[in-house]
């Protein structure tokens, strides 16, 4: 399988440093305190935030800050071979690293003894669901009015067919040489999520990281636009 | 946004007072449904899918179809398994983890609506090998994701389930089924349509909203087929219904069910349908 | 403003609610509208849960009854207990359930909030009481100020047309009582304000809506409560 041809064109027609199409909508659910829907290539993701609210069970409370409880879940029908419903080891790991990324930016000390629930539902999966999920959840958190030092966003880079590429597609994820999901806090420019598997030289890693950060920035603009659109009518207080 | 899982007694009393004056909380006639929207087939990874909006209630159903080993007592029939998750996205009091009795009741009612109603012709789901023998059958997995709970999950879930099943394809090409060159629709017959009515005080309300759901005395879900015959029922809630009330709920189900059936047909044919706003 | 947006780097302002600072730079921590007041920059939130402050008047719903206190839901991150001595009644130990039961709605005041965000509420003030009749609805706490209006102008406008009792709790719960059709007109008006909270020309639209739904202004029959205007 040729993942990228001699002209540097990828299987789906993208250039090495080109992202798939991303579409974000904020405030799509009625009951949730904050929500967002995101399509990223063939990924379809819904995120909903509840809280802050008193942490239960009691022993999970932290007297000094809120705990962030992230739940990443894949719908049974989101993948080619049906996934058994419920948490597996993979989704628990992803939930953990995403929770930690958000703990970094949420001003948790404003809500001692509370919990903030971040639910990420992968309705359809096509490579890069953790980045898509995290990006959607950040919009949902802002929509819920949760105080944060900044919006975070995620994007993967990697290597396939010998080339460093941005935002791996399905085949590139399955058959490529390396995958490097990254999340960035845009206010500080610091990394809040980083995973990698495969094989990259130092030089390739440097380029992949640069690509990923550039991807995060692109996604960040879309996150901001989605939030602005949701609250567009709020033109500065009117007559109040 | 109002997530009053704690509903005050005042609200229940108000619903009853309003009803006595012939009115309903959201201004609907007692026998009317909220706006319904059905969107079919937008989860490409699923063999069939449907998303249903009932007012602000929102449910996504997906069908996966895979070859598998039949049950020994029905060696040539396909199988169905249904799961409904009270997804923690959908309401502040829904939690991840083992399903609660409410979730199990919901999944079983939806499952019966598809299984016992004969919508899927299971006896036509055997897979013939090169010698024409059936050793494998199609297994149908129906998964319901409740995304936003604003009342009346029973109807939203059964409608989404039907939309997903009616639009599902047998993935012949993906599994390289002997003698098949393209995917085919599931073998189907005309489904019964489920509708739900609740009783609060002395009044009956079709398609309960969240507040009505939270303070209902009794609930009755009735499924009627195209001929108007009754095909399934489920009563819930601590209150009771008079025989006359049961009969009028069945009549409501026939009329509302007929309208919903048209909408479902339209959605399956064209990908999307909604009631007039 | 979106979390992380830099609001100011001049060093001339203090960082207020909905912001944080690093050195002399001030950043938004919440989604909302920028506001400056007396040299302090803050972000007025457009969404979010109710954050109780001492002195806030709120509507609580009783969730549990204990021998000498009740637990109430005040639509905040934390449940709020109320001790039996914090009521207008003389209550013997164990007789709390004779006064308030689960699902009862009460008009109460935030007594205190400690550093661990533990909240207590009280009913021991004139006008604070158990609510009876009418309807209680919920709106986003971020929109409460719009329903009340400047110096209570918006709620006064609604009352002028509907002649309803209306109490707007800071926690986003609103109690309305009066003639049945007028209760509905009031609730529909509040929903309109909630939907268009931050658009300009709101007062005019609300008045037009009220004329259509409630007819001419009414001669007031309901007494004004001190608690109404905040």
pLDDT tens-digit series, residues B178-234 = 889 999 999 999 999 999 999 999 999 999 999 999 999 999 999 999 999 999 999
Mean pLDDT, residues C157-185: 95
Mean pLDDT, residues A213-239: 82
Q: What percent of chain B has pLDDT over 70?
A: 98
Spatial distance between the Cα atoms of C228 and C158, rounded to a whole number of angstroms: 12
DSSP-assigned beta bridge partners for residue B140: B65, B80
In a domain, C22, yes or no: yes
In a domain, C50, yes or no: no
Mean pLDDT, residues C81-100: 94
Contact between chains at B10 and C180 (C-beta distance less than 8 A): no
- The pLDDT, as a whole number, for residue B264 is 98
- The pLDDT, as a whole number, for residue A85 is 87
**Could you tell me the pLDDT band of residue C214, with boundaries at 50, 70 and 90?**
confident
Q: What is the DSSP letter of B167?
A: T
Spatial distance between the Cα atoms of C169 and C79, rounded to a whole number of angstroms: 16
Contact between chains at B88 and A44 (C-beta distance less than 8 A): no
- The pLDDT, as a whole number, for residue A239 is 32
Contacts of C150 in chain A (CB under 8 A): 239-240
pLDDT in tens, A144-175: 999 999 999 999 999 999 999 999 999 999 99
Q: What CATH number did the domain enclosing C61 receive?
A: 2.40.50.140
Length of chain B: 277
Mean pLDDT, residues B13-33: 95
**Do β-strands B79-85 and B134-148 pair in parallel, antiparallel, or remain unpaired?**
parallel
**Domain map (residue ranges) of chain A:** 22-234
Contact between chains at A142 and C31 (C-beta distance less than 8 A): yes
Spatial distance between the Cα atoms of C171 and C155, rounded to a whole number of angstroms: 16
Cβ atoms of B3 and C99 closer than 8 Å: no
Least confident among B204-213, C49-58, C196-205: C196-205
Helix %, strand %, coil % of chain A (to 5): 30, 30, 40
Contacts of B63 in chain A (CB under 8 A): 77
Residue with more model confidence, B55 or A238 = B55
- DSSP output for C106-143: EEEEEEEE-TT--EEEE--STT--B--SSEEEE--GGG
- At A138, give phi and psi (nearest 5°): -60, -40
Spatial distance between the Cα atoms of A97 and A113, rounded to a whole number of angstroms: 21
Q: State whether C17 and C71 are in the same domain.
A: no
* Non-local CB neighbours of B204 within 8 Å, separated by 6+ positions: B30, B197, B198, B245, B248, B249, B252
| Residue B147, pLDDT above cutoff 70 | yes
Contact between chains at A234 and C35 (C-beta distance less than 8 A): no
Q: Give C180 to chain B, closest Cα distance, Å.
A: 7
- The pLDDT, as a whole number, for residue A233 is 63
Against a cut of 0.90, is the pTM above it?
Answer: yes
Residue of C nearest to B11 (CA): C135
Q: State whether C171 and C145 are in the same domain.
A: yes
- The pLDDT, as a whole number, for residue A231 is 87
Chain A positions with Cβ closer than 8 Å to B: 29-33, 35, 42, 44, 46-48, 50, 53, 71, 73, 75-82, 85, 87, 117, 119, 121, 123-126
Q: State whether C122 and C141 are in the same domain.
A: no
Contacts of C77 in chain A (CB under 8 A): 51-54, 111, 114
Instruction: Identify the residue among C46, C49, C137 best suited for mutation to test binding to B, counting B beta carbons within 10 A and taking the highest.
Output: C137
| Residue A133, pLDDT above cutoff 90 | yes
pLDDT in tens, A94-130: 999 999 999 999 999 999 999 999 999 999 999 999 9
SS3 assignment, position A222: helix
* Chains in contact with chain A (at least 3 beta-carbon pairs closer than 8 A): B, C
- Buried residues in A148-176 as b, exposed as e (16+ CB within 10 A): bbbbbbbbbbbbbbebbbbbbbbbbeeeb
- The pLDDT, as a whole number, for residue A2 is 87
- The pLDDT, as a whole number, for residue A168 is 97
- Computed on alpha carbons and rounded to an integer, the radius of gyration of chain B in Å comes to 20
Query: Domains along chain B?
Result: 28-270 (3.30.230.70)
* Chains in contact with chain C (at least 3 beta-carbon pairs closer than 8 A): A, B
Spatial distance between the Cα atoms of B191 and C205, rounded to a whole number of angstroms: 47
Q: What is the mean pLDDT of chain A?
A: 94
Q: What percent of chain A has pLDDT over 70?
A: 97
In a domain, C203, yes or no: yes
**Could you tell me the pLDDT band of residue C167, with boundaries at 50, 70 and 90?**
very high
Contacts of A29 in chain B (CB under 8 A): 58, 89-90, 147-148
Q: State whether C112 and C151 are in the same domain.
A: no
What the block records as the tokens of B19 is 């009803």
Contact between chains at B45 and A80 (C-beta distance less than 8 A): yes
Q: Give B11 to chain C, closest Cα distance, Å.
A: 6
Contact between chains at A121 and B87 (C-beta distance less than 8 A): yes
CATH 3.40.640.10 is right for the domain spanning A22-234: no
Domain count for chain C, please give it. Answer: 3
Contact between chains at A114 and C77 (C-beta distance less than 8 A): yes
**Could you tell me the pLDDT band of residue B246, with boundaries at 50, 70 and 90?**
very high
Contacts of B148 in chain A (CB under 8 A): 29-32
In a domain, C224, yes or no: no
Contacts of A79 in chain B (CB under 8 A): 45
pLDDT in tens, B175-192: 999 889 999 999 999 999
- The pLDDT, as a whole number, for residue A45 is 98
- At A23, give phi and psi (nearest 5°): -135, 130
| Residue B255, pLDDT above cutoff 90 | yes
Scanning B3-152, the segments in alpha helix (DSSP H) are: 9-20, 101-115
Question: What was the ipTM of the complex prediction?
Answer: 0.92
Cβ neighbours, 10 Å, residue C93:
8
Q: State whether C147 and C84 are in the same domain.
A: no
- The pLDDT, as a whole number, for residue A68 is 96
**Could you tell me the pLDDT band of residue C228, with boundaries at 50, 70 and 90?**
very low
- The pLDDT, as a whole number, for residue C47 is 93
Contacts of C132 in chain B (CB under 8 A): 10
**Could you tell me the pLDDT band of residue A238, with boundaries at 50, 70 and 90?**
very low
- Please give the span between the terminal C-alpha atoms of chain B, in angstroms, as a whole number: 21
Token pair 């934390």 is found at C78
- The pLDDT, as a whole number, for residue C223 is 57
Contact between chains at C103 and B8 (C-beta distance less than 8 A): yes
| Residue B1, pLDDT above cutoff 90 | no
- The pLDDT, as a whole number, for residue B101 is 86
B182-188 contacts at long range (C-beta below 8 A, 24 or more positions apart): B186/B48, B186/B65, B186/B120, B186/B121, B186/B125, B186/B140, B187/B120, B187/B121, B187/B124, B187/B125, B188/B119, B188/B120, B188/B121
Domain of residue C113 covers 57-131
| Residue B164, pLDDT above cutoff 90 | yes
- The pLDDT, as a whole number, for residue C230 is 37
| Cα-based distances in Å from A46 to A121, B17, B148 | 5, 39, 11
Residue C170 half-sphere exposure, CB side, CA atoms within 13 Å?
16
- The pLDDT, as a whole number, for residue C219 is 78
Chain B positions with Cβ closer than 8 Å to C: 1-4, 6-14, 17-18, 21, 23, 27
In a domain, C228, yes or no: no
| Residue A236, pLDDT above cutoff 60 | no
Residue C57 half-sphere exposure, CB side, CA atoms within 13 Å?
21
Residue of C nearest to B15 (CA): C135
- The pLDDT, as a whole number, for residue C225 is 52
- The pLDDT, as a whole number, for residue A181 is 98
- DSSP output for A26-71: E---SSSSEEEEEEETTEEEEEEEEEEEE-SSGGG-BTTBPEEEEE
DSSP-assigned beta bridge partners for residue B198: B205, B219
- At B204, give phi and psi (nearest 5°): -110, 135
């Amino acid at each position: 399988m040729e993942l990228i041809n001699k002209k540097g064109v990828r299987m789906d027609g993208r250039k090495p440093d080109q992202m798939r199409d991303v579409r974000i909508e904020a405030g799509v659910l009625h009951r949730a305190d904050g929500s967002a829907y995101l399509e990223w290539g063939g990924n379809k993701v819904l995120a909903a935030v509840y809280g802050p609210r008193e942490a239960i069970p009691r022993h999970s409370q932290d007297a000094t800050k809120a705990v962030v409880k992230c739940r990443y879940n894949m719908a049974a029908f989101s993948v080619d071979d049906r996934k058994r419903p419920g948490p597996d080891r993979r989704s628990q790991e992803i939930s953990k690293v995403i929770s930690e990324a958000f703990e970094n930016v949420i001003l948790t000390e404003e809500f001692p003894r509370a919990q903030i629930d971040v639910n990420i539902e992968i309705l359809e999966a096509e490579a890069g669901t953790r980045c898509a999920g995290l990006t959607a959840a950040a919009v949902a958190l802002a929509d819920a009015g949760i105080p944060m030092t900044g919006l975070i966003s995620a994007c993967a880079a990697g290597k396939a067919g010998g080339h460093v590429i941005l935002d791996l597609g399905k085949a590139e994820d399955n058959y490529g040489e390396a995958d490097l999901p990254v999340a960035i806090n845009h206010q500080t420019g610091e990394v809040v999520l980083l995973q990698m598997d495969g094989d990259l030289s130092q030089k390739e890693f440097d380029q992949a990281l640069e690509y990923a950060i550039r991807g995060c920035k692109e996604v960040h603009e879309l996150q901001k636009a989605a939030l602005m659109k949701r609250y567009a009518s709020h033109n500065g207080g009117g007559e109040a | 946004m109002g997530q009053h899982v704690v509903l005050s007694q005042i609200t229940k009393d108000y619903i009853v007072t309003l009803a006595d004056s012939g009115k309903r909380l959201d201004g609907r006639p007692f026998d009317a449904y909220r706006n319904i929207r059905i969107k079919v087939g937008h989860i490409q990874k699923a063999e069939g899918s449907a998303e249903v909006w009932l007012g602000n209630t929102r449910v996504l159903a997906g069908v996966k179809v895979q070859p598998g080993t039949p049950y020994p007592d029905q060696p040539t029939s396909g199988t169905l398994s249904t799961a409904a998750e009270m997804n923690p996205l959908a309401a502040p009091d829904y939690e991840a983890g083992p399903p609660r009795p409410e979730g199990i009741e919901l999944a079983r009612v939806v499952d019966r609506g598809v299984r016992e109603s004969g919508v899927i012709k299971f006896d036509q789901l055997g897979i013939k090998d090169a010698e024409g023998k059936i050793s494998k059958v199609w297994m149908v997995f129906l998964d319901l994701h409740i995304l936003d709970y604003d009342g009346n999950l029973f109807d939203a879930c059964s409608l989404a389930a039907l939309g997903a099943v009616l639009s599902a394809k047998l993935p012949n090409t993906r599994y390289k089924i002997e003698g098949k060159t393209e995917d085919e629709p599931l073998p189907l017959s005309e489904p019964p349509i489920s509708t739900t009515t609740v009783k609060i005080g002395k009044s009956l309300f079709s398609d309960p909203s969240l507040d009505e759901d939270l303070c209902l005395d009794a609930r009755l879900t009735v499924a009627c087929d195209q001929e108007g015959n009754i095909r399934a029922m489920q009563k819930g809630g601590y209150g009771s219904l008079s025989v006359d009330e049961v009969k009028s709920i069945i009549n409501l189900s026939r009329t509302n069910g007929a309208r919903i059936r048209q909408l479902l047909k339209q959605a399956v044919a064209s990908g999307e349908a909604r009631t007039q706003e | 403003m979106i979390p992380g947006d830099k609001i100011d780097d001049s060093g001339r302002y203090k960082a207020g609610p909905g912001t944080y600072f690093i050195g002399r730079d001030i950043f938004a921590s919440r989604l909302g509208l920028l506001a400056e007041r007396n040299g302090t920059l803050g972000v007025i939130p457009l969404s979010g849960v109710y954050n109780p402050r001492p002195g806030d008047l709120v509507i609580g719903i009783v969730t549990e009854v204990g021998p000498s206190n009740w637990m109430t839901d005040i639509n905040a991150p934390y449940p709020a207990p109320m001790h039996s001595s914090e009521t207008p009644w003389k209550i013997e130990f164990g007789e709390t359930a004779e006064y308030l039961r689960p699902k009862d709605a009460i008009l109460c005041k935030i007594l205190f909030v400690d550093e661990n965000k533990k909240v207590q509420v009280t009913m021991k003030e004139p006008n604070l009481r158990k609510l009876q009749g009418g309807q209680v609805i919920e709106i986003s706490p971020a929109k409460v100020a719009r329903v009340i209006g400047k110096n209570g102008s918006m709620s006064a406008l609604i009352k002028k047309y509907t002649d309803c009792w209306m109490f707007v709790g800071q926690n986003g719960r609103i109690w309305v009582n009066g003639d049945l059709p007028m209760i509905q007109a009031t609730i529909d008006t509040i929903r309109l304000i909630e939907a268009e909270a931050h658009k300009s020309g709101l007062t005019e639209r609300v008045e037009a809506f009220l004329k259509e739904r409630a007819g001419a202004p009414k001669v007031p029959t309901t007494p004004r409560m001190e608690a109404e205007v905040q």
